[in-house]
A and B are shown apart, each in its own frame.
Chain A
Amino acid sequence: MRKNTNQLRILIILGIVAFSVYVIIKLPITLGLDLQGGTRLVLEGQPTEKVPLSDDAMAGAVAVIRNRIDALGVTEPIIQRKGRDQIVVELPGVKDPERAISIIGDTANLEFVEAEWAPADESRLTPEKIKEFYGAGSYLDKVVAMRNGVVVRETPIILKSVALTGGLLKGAWPGVDEYGNPVVDLEFNAEGAGVFADVTSRSVGRPIAILLDKRIISAPNVREPIPSGKAQISGDFTIEEVQDLVIKLKAGALPIPVKPIETRIVGPTLGRDSIEKSRFAGLIGFALIVAFMVLYYRLPGFLADVALGIYVCIVLGILSLIHATLTLPGIAGLLLSIGMAVDANIIIFERLKEELRQNKTIRLSIITSFERALWAILDSNVTTIIAAATLFFVGTGSIRGFAVTLSVGIVASMFSAIVITRMLLDMMVDGKVLTDNKSKLVYR
């Protein structure tokens, strides 16, 4: 009879381990940005005179940002709103974070502005005079011609009124001009093409300024009306800049400008370093605890060590099952929980010593010590969970990862101490390994 119970116990324990290992292999734990490398951005909506902060504007911004990120081809990005005016963007494993940041954060507000070259004595024009001569809303700016990043010429220009925006685009493609320089080819939709035809026929012999986020990119002179709705943006572009601009124009302009208020870039090396070092620290810590428990508590200590090994499997298994993301603080929580996991065992074993000293049989001592220690273990762990839960609900990002692994660790450690160590101890008693309450196998 007893032999059968022992076989059942072994089966249960092996089952738990096998299931955990299966889950760990089948559902690998996702690594957080700080471990696999990547970029985290928090963007804050910047209301302007024309665009007040609104739910629609922020939701629109999220949609545009999602389109841009999809075009970048990032796997499993996270894009979500936080609070009233913030957007959190997480891009795991991005190779060129700097480029991603500029693609995501630029408003990409494309404007075609009717313009006129400023007269030679432009320095004498006051803003008031410009408005008088060229119409309300006109102002003086300059076209900066660049070659290979160096300014070659600055030409003053007077910008009059916005004729068209990127909102009327049908598409955008990277292209080359007749000299082989990278340019962006544009095509307007039907409405845009109509407006563009009107504007170009009005502006023959005058420039049309092309502005991106209020900065003049180029200001070509209109030679003849363009009815086709096709246009070209040329500037001192590199091929990559052209590609990025196309991504931004295709996804559309952000309905509200955003500003990064938090940027975290983690290279892939740092995470690998962290994981390696943490693994090493964890192994040494594990070994020290295993040694301590055996030396101090002897056979029960050894059983607690076996339970600790099972505990590690269970924790990793649960983290896989709940699709937790493992962050560096999460690893800290995991390591910490190894140290805490034997606490419950220690509480039980110390109690066991006391019970044995009262000359109770080993079986009765085990039963009472587990019974008596149960509430002390529960009460003390609940308070740690209260602290972890607070961290989870109040904290953000990687701190949440810490709270999750710590909580999972505490719950699993209670299970491993109360259930698994108990099973193992009972097995020893039933298997006649532990018979005498004065056994040398138990430290008294």
Chain B
Amino acid sequence: MFDFVANRKYWFTLSTLMVVLAVGALAYNGIVNGRVMNFGIDFTGGTLLNLRFSQPVSEIEVREVLTKHGLGQSMIQRSGTRDMYIRSEELPRDLRLKIIGDLEEQFGSVELLEADTIGPVIGKELSTQAIWALLLASLGIILYVSFRFEFKYAVAALLALYHDALITTGVIALLWRNIETPFVAAVLTIMGYSINDSIVIFDRIRENRKKLGGKKKNFMEVVNISINETLARSINTVLTTILVVLCVLFFGGETLKDFALVLLIGFSVGAYSSIFLASPIVAAWEGKGARKK
């Protein structure tokens, strides 16, 4: 039986290190790129065009056309051979039509797959919504887990969740991936799902405490036994979900790929934190209390 609880110092150190690195990644972006993450138009406002050309074109050729309209600084990203994403400042309708007209003149017919124009007001709303969602979800989880288990368990689970969310955010920030609304949904999904494994272990701790309490096992041992007993489930449940996430990442459309990447990182970190973080935190906390008595 592997001792998850006794070795907790290592996991706690590792997690602290990863969280520090994640925050460091955000800070690094803030200093070097001026923005902590590569926020897309949903947050900052602006225009996103997704165009399909009738022939393969390069980013450079498209940028040349945009430069003529003073939009040389736009983000241009190719997807496949013929699809192009252009992210720019907010384009008025006339200019958007003119640019597409110019592109058609040069490269033949261009199909408009998607054109989103978002004003700065909406972006501000989204940021507020994201913060509210995070707070409300945290509150809901704390209340429910406290009600079903104990407050200590709720805090431990939530710490693990914030750890997951922060590290995921850090990795995405480091990869400089475009952040749009689905990112918020993905982070909340990670929080809602990653806690599942913690709860399955908590449930087992509760059960074992009753069963093994009589056998004079101390709480640390009970926690460790519970983690070991539920290890196969913890791994398999995440595994099946990650299988699907991987399929979406490899075969899904462009929009869902970004979403799947966030989930992949989050679920993986979440699987680690449920086993190595949440329950050992409970053990450490409870253990301390016991010693004081």
Binding site for B on A (CB under 8 A): 42, 44, 98, 101-102, 259-267, 269-270, 273-274, 277-278, 280-282, 284-285, 288-289, 292-293, 296, 328-329, 331-332, 335-336, 338-340, 342-343, 346-347, 350, 354, 372, 375-376, 379-391, 393-396, 398-399, 402-403, 406
Query: Which residues of A have CB within 8 Å of B114?
Result: 264-267, 270
What's the minimum C-beta distance from B206 to chain A, rounded to whole angstroms? 9
Stretch at the interface among B7-15, B25-33, B69-77, B249-257: B249-257
Contact B259 A285 (CB under 8 A): no
Q: A263-B116, A267-B111, A391-B133 are in contact. Are A281 and B250 (CB under 8 A)?
A: yes
Question: Which one of B135-143, B216-224, B283-291 is at the A interface?
Answer: B135-143
Cross-chain contact B251 with A265 (CB below 8 angstroms): no
Chain B contacts of A403 at CB under 8 A?
A: 185
Query: Which B residues touch A265, using CB under 8 A?
Result: 112, 114-116
B233 touches A347 (CB 8 A): yes
- Bound together, the chains give a CA A382 to CA B148 distance in angstroms of 11
Q: How far is the CB of A272 from chain B (nearest CB, A)?
A: 10
Q: Which residue of A lies closest to B206 (CB)?
A: A375
Q: Which of B116, B136, B184, B243 contacts A264 (CB 8 A)?
A: B116
CB-CB contacts of B67-85 with A at 8 A, as 1s and 0s?
A: 0000000000000000000
A273–B141 Cα distance when bound, in Å, is: 37
Bound-complex Cα distance A296 to B97 (A): 56
**Is A347 within 8 A of B191, CB to CB?**
no
Number of A-B contacts (CB under 8 A): 213
Residues from chain A with a CB closer than 8 A to the CB of B244 are 281-282, 285, 288-289, 335-336, 338-339
Q: Closest Cβ of chain A: how far from B71's Cβ, in Å?
A: 17
The one of B133, B197, B243 in contact with A292, judged by C-beta atoms closer than 8 angstroms, is B243
Q: Is B242 an interface residue (CB 8 A)?
A: yes
B233 cross-chain contacts in A, Cβ below 8 A: 346-347, 350
**Judging by beta carbons under 8 Å apart, are A340 and B251 in contact?**
no
- Contact partners of B253 in chain A: CB under 8 A: 273-274, 277-278, 328
Prevailing SS type, chain B contact patch? helix
Beyond the given A266-B114, A339-B242, please list 6 additional residue pairs across the A-B interface where CB-CB is below 8 A: A269-B52, A274-B256, A285-B244, A329-B185, A379-B202, A402-B185
B103 at the binding interface (Cβ < 8 Å) = no
Do A387 and B188 contact each other (CB < 8 Å), given the known contacts A265-B116, A396-B129?
yes
Distance between Cα atoms of A384 and B192 in the complex (Å): 4
- Quick one: which of A261, A262, A263, A346 contacts B237, CB cutoff 8 A? A346
Q: Is B20 engaged at the interface, CB distance under 8 Å to the other chain?
A: no
Q: Give min CB distance, B39 to chain A, whole Å.
A: 16
- Mask, B188-232, CB within 8 Å of A = 1, is 110111011101101110010000000000000000000001101
Q: How far is the CA of A152 from the CA of B192 in the complex (A)?
A: 65
B155 at interface, CB cutoff 8 A = no
Contact of B113 with A266 in the complex, beta carbons under 8 Å: yes
Closest chain-A Cβ to B194's Cβ sits at a distance in Å of: 9
How far apart are the CA atoms of A354 and B232 in the complex, in Å? 11
Residues of the B chain whose Cβ atoms lie less than 8 Å from the Cβ of A382: 144
Are A292 and B240 within 8 A (Cβ)? yes
B263 at interface by CB-CB < 8 Å = yes
Max count, chain B CB within 10 A of own CB: residue among A289, A372, A385: A289
Which residue of chain A has the shortest Cβ distance to B136 in the bound complex?
Answer: A390
Q: Is the CB of B129 within 8 A of A395?
A: yes
Specify which of A42, A379, A381, A406 is in contact with B122 (CB 8 Å cutoff).
Answer: A42
Decide: B248 and A332 in contact? CB cutoff 8 A.
yes
Q: How far is the CB of A387 from chain B (nearest CB, A)?
A: 3
Q: Which A residues are CB-close (under 8 A) to B239?
A: 292
Number of interface residues of B (CB under 8 A): 68
Q: Are A394 and B133 in contact (CB under 8 A)?
A: yes
A233→B199 CA distance, assembly (Å) = 72
Q: In the complex, are the beta carbons of B93 and A102 less than 8 A apart? A: yes
In the assembled complex, the Cα of A262 lies from the Cα of B229 at a distance in Å of 52
In the bound assembly, the distance between CA atoms of A388 and B188 in angstroms comes to 8
Q: B residues within 8 A CB of A263?
A: 93, 115-118
A277's contact among B117, B122, B129, B251, by CB below 8 Å, is which?
B251
B240 touches A346 (CB 8 A): yes
* A383 partner, pick from B144, B184, B242, B245, beta carbons under 8 A: B144
* B50, B144, B236, B247 interface centre (most CB from chain A within 10 Å): B247
* 8 Å CB contact of A332 from B93, B133, B250, B259: B259
- Can you identify 23 A-B contacts, CB atoms within 8 angstroms? A263-B115, A265-B116, A266-B114, A267-B112, A270-B50, A278-B248, A282-B247, A285-B246, A292-B239, A292-B243, A336-B263, A339-B241, A343-B240, A350-B232, A376-B199, A379-B144, A380-B196, A380-B199, A383-B199, A386-B141, A386-B192, A387-B193, A395-B181
Residues on A with C-beta less than 8 A from B185 are: 329, 391, 395, 399, 402-403
Option from B144, B182, B229, B241 in Cβ contact (under 8 Å) with A336: B241
Contact B248 A281 (CB under 8 A): yes
Name B111-133 residues within 8 Å CB distance of A.
Answer: 111-119, 121-122, 129, 132-133
Q: Flag if B248 contacts A262 (CB, 8 Å).
A: no
Docked complex Cα distance between A62 and B260 (Å): 38
Complex CA gap A98/B111 in Å reads 14
A98 and B97 contact, CB distance less than 8 A: yes
Report if B57 contacts A (CB, 8 A): no
B18 contacts partner chain A, Cβ-Cβ < 8 Å = no
User: Contact: B122 with A261, CB < 8 Å?
Assistant: yes
The interface residues of chain B lying within 8 Å CB-to-CB of A376 are 199-200, 203-204
Contact with A along B83-94 (1 / 0, CB 8 A): 000000000010
A269 to B244, CA, bound (A): 25
5 closest residue pairs by CB, A with B: A387-B192, A339-B244, A261-B119, A339-B241, A380-B196
Distance A346 CA – B132 CA, assembled complex (angstroms)? 34
Do residues A379 and B148 form an inter-chain contact, with CB atoms below 8 A? yes
Q: Say yes or no: B207 contacts A372, CB within 8 Å.
A: yes
Inter-chain CA distance A293–B259, complex, in Å, is 26
